[in-house]
Amino acid sequence: MLKSDAVLIIFAKTPLPGQVKTRIASVKGKAIARRLAETFISHTLAKASSVVMRRYFSEIELWFTPSSRHPVFLHSKISRSIRFKQQVGADLGLRMHYAIYQALKKYKFAVVVGTDCPSLNSPYIAESLKALAKGCDVVFGPAKDGGYVLIATRVANAQLFRNIAWGGSKVLSKSLENCRRLGFRTKCLDTLVDVDRVEDMFTLRLHKVF
């Protein structure tokens, strides 16, 4: 697949002690949770900057909160090839909508991913772009916990992200319900594991991330 008229948007939270991976921190401790978050960010940025990934996207952006002044961002060898932007909005839904809205001013497609899914790779992301090119309005990469690890879209509509309890088990089902109400054509890819809990950490050995 050749480079499309698309932007890859990576959402990342600054890995500050006690503010990331809180469910893991409650069991494993804040230091391990912070180190895990840092590793995830570095791993995701490295994959995003690969030659293969750059074949698919015209631009790659990292939307951070609350600050980009952290070694995992500043000392990254590939950070210069990624555009850094501050997240805007009171909750995750509003922040994603704002990033998508800004991206679709310039590009036909926007793909939003987080940093917590080690099995998220370029063929999976390319599949979402192919679905958009074939006419889908919104593509989801379902997460095992009921959320999603990826959302790819050609539309910017804040209603898509309304009335969703972020972090809960019905994020995907509610998002699909919103899409049906809005008349959007959707597709769901294979289900992946988003590492938010201690029991999810087995996937790290499989992908040699941590």
List the beta bridge partners of residue 111: 8, 152
**Inside any domain, residue 148:** yes
Identify whether 210 is part of a domain: no
pLDDT in tens, 39-67: 999 889 888 888 788 889 999 999 999 98
Q: Which of 154, 110, 123, 161 is nearest to 136 (CA)?
A: 154
* Position 124 in a domain: yes
pTM greater than 0.85 (yes/no) = yes
Q: Is residue 1 part of a domain?
A: no
- Please answer whether residues 96 and 160 qualify as being in contact, where contact means their C-beta atoms are separated by less than 8 angstroms: no
Whether 137 maps to a domain, the answer reads: yes
Q: What is the DSSP letter of 18?
A: T
Q: Which of 3, 95, 100, 9 has the alpha carbon at shortest distance from 48?
A: 9
Q: What is the CATH number of the domain that holds 131?
A: 3.90.550.10
Count of structural domains, the chain = 1
Tell me phi and psi for residue 132, to 5 degrees: -65, -40
- Mean pLDDT (the chain, rounded): 89
Q: Quick one: which of 185, 40, 173 has its CA closest to 118?
A: 40
In a domain, 102, yes or no: yes
Tell me if residue 24 falls in helix, strand or coil: helix
Does residue 203 or residue 13 have the better pLDDT? Answer: 13
Residue range(s) defining the domain that contains residue 162: 6-203
